[in-house]
Amino acid sequence: HAGNGLPPGGGPRMGEVAVVGAGLTGCLLACFLARRGYQVTLYERRPDPRGRPPERGRSINLALSERGLDALRRIGLDGQVMAGALPMRGRMVHPVRGTPGFQPYSTHGDRAINSIGRGALNDALLAAATGRPGVRAVFGHRLTGLDPASGTMTFQTEDGEVKASAPVVLGADGAGSAVRGRLLAYGTLTETVDLLDHGYKELTIPPHDGDFALDPGALHIWPRGTSMMIALPNPDRSFTCTLFWPADGPGGFASLDAPEAVERHFRAEYPDVMPLAPGLVEDYLRNPVGTLGTVRCASWHAEGRVGLIGDAAHAIVPFYGQGANCAFEDVVELDRCLDAAGDDWAEALPLFEARRRDDTEAIARMALANFVEMRDKVASPVFRLGKSVEHA
């Protein structure tokens, strides 16, 4: 056997796995590994997120599509998650002047992508993971060191530095992955991180007279060329808007630094939004600008015992609405690779990378291409007559 201390063959009690990051990928992965019989410890740098409001301006609502739902279905979580989701059957394109136009995602208007809050989804996955035998979550543990040869991890905690080790360590710690950073330092990984000039800022359209202020059955888009805003509905009948604009320099977020300038800009560019969003100016001035980028790296594994998964391996820009969906697909594929390799991690981890690399590179390119489509082409009359391909 690979010598990583794990029994082959998927017996009822498998070895231990440390999953770094209790985000969407880490929690779903823990569910799948627990089902295989592994003892899983989730190490998360944040405090337990359940019941806490999201960080201001970082709530993020996701479009969950069939790829992600398929993964949830396999462990019986689709019903619970979909209960809090709102189906969006097409995009509603808002011109500067004139009536918004609806473009259905499917010919008969019967297929949808689903708006869901990232926090709510994370809470549901975390509860599902920790509710399974063999899974525990440790919060307030930020990974700062890793020796891939021995599986020894170092964490920064409130009480100082803590060490732990596991036969298998999986980095599900997101786009800025510390596990990826340790593999880079170890010399088994190379990476490129392409940051987009555009950043994003969240704004809110609250309920209007207790109801949705816009059609909740659509993903709303305000294509404006260099900038673009989208809005997705929430179960509390508000909409979370995400404005994409160059992060620095003139003609971007930094160009609006006073309340009057923000109001003037939105009245000119997004005139139908202003009356629906009384707190917009305050939101704009207080909420942070998030960065967006594409992470490409290889190898995703080292020493037959350390691996990367989800955004940690292949973060993408959000314009195709596929980052989390793609990460969920990763989890299903890793599970299949463990089947194929009889739970030999030294075999399963390279197999996983070989099977996922082309697909994740393709979605990274498509996500960048869809930015041009969403901010520009959806508004063109030719496109409106043609076929829409978003969020497959």
Neighbours of 283 (CB within 10 A): 19
State which of positions 195-224 bind ligand FAD (CB under 6 A). 200
Closest CA to 355 of 295, 314, 303, 294: 314
The residue type of 296 is R
Binding region for ligand FAD (CB under 6 A) out of 162-170, 221-229, 260-268, 317-325: 317-325
Contact string 89-118 vs ligand FAD (x = CB under 6 A): -----------------------------x
Q: Where are the beta strands (DSSP E) in 289-368?
A: 290-298, 301-302, 306-308
CA distances from 200 to 243, 281, 287 (A): 5, 15, 10
Which residue number has the CB closest to ligand FAD?
Answer: 23
Could you say whether residue 322 binds ligand FAD (CB under 6 A)?
yes
Part in contact with ligand FAD (CB under 6 A); list of ranges 167-175, 358-366, 368-376, 382-390: 167-175
User: Under the criterion CB under 6 A, does residue 25 sit at the interface with ligand FAD?
Assistant: yes
DSSP letter assigned to residue 48: P
Q: Which two tokens stand for residue 236?
A: 């509390």
The reply to whether 300 sits near ligand FAD by the rule CB under 6 A is no
Q: Does 63 bind ligand FAD (CB under 6 A)?
A: yes
Q: Please report whether residue 24 would count as binding ligand FAD according to CB under 6 A.
A: yes
Question: Is residue 228 a contact point for ligand FAD (CB under 6 A)?
Answer: no
Q: How far is the CB of 177 from ligand FAD (least distance, A)?
A: 7
Name the residue nearer to ligand FAD (CB basis): 96 or 127. Answer: 127
Instruction: Give the residue from 135, 116, 119 showing the smallest Cα distance to 51.
Output: 119
Residue whose entry in the numeric block shows the structure tokens 């082409």: 377
367 counts as binding ligand FAD under rule CB under 6 A: no
- List b or e across 289-312, with b for residues whose CB sees 16 or more CB atoms inside 10 angstroms: bbebebbbbebbbbbbbbbbbbbb
Considering the complex, what minimum distance in angstroms separates the CB of residue 79 from ligand FAD? 19
Instruction: By CB under 6 A, name the one of 2, 81, 166, 178 that touches ligand FAD.
Output: 178
Identified binder of ligand FAD from the candidate list 2, 31, 33, 62, rule CB under 6 A:
62
CA distance 48 to 38: 22
**Residue 50 binds ligand FAD (CB under 6 A):** no
Compute the distance between CA of residue 50 and CA of residue 122 in angstroms, rounded to an integer. 8
End-to-end CA distance of the chain: 41
Question: Phi/psi class of residue 265: alpha, beta or left (left: φ > 0; alpha: ψ in -120 to 50)?
Answer: alpha
Alpha carbon distance 313, 324 (integer Å): 12
Q: Does 45 bind ligand FAD (CB under 6 A)?
A: yes
Q: Rule CB under 6 A: is residue 310 a binding residue for ligand FAD?
A: yes
134 forms part of the interface with ligand FAD (CB under 6 A): no
CB within 8 A of 79, min separation 6: which ones?
none
Quote the least distance from Cβ 218 to ligand FAD, whole Å: 14
Q: How far is the CB of 344 from ligand FAD (least distance, A)?
A: 24
- Stretches 10-18, 190-198, 315-323, 352-360: which one binds ligand FAD (CB under 6 A)? 315-323
Rounded to whole angstroms, how far apart are CA atoms 341 and 73? 23
- Contact residues: ligand FAD, CB under 6 A: 20-26, 43-46, 60, 62-63, 118, 142-143, 172-175, 178, 200, 242, 290, 310-312, 318, 321-325, 327
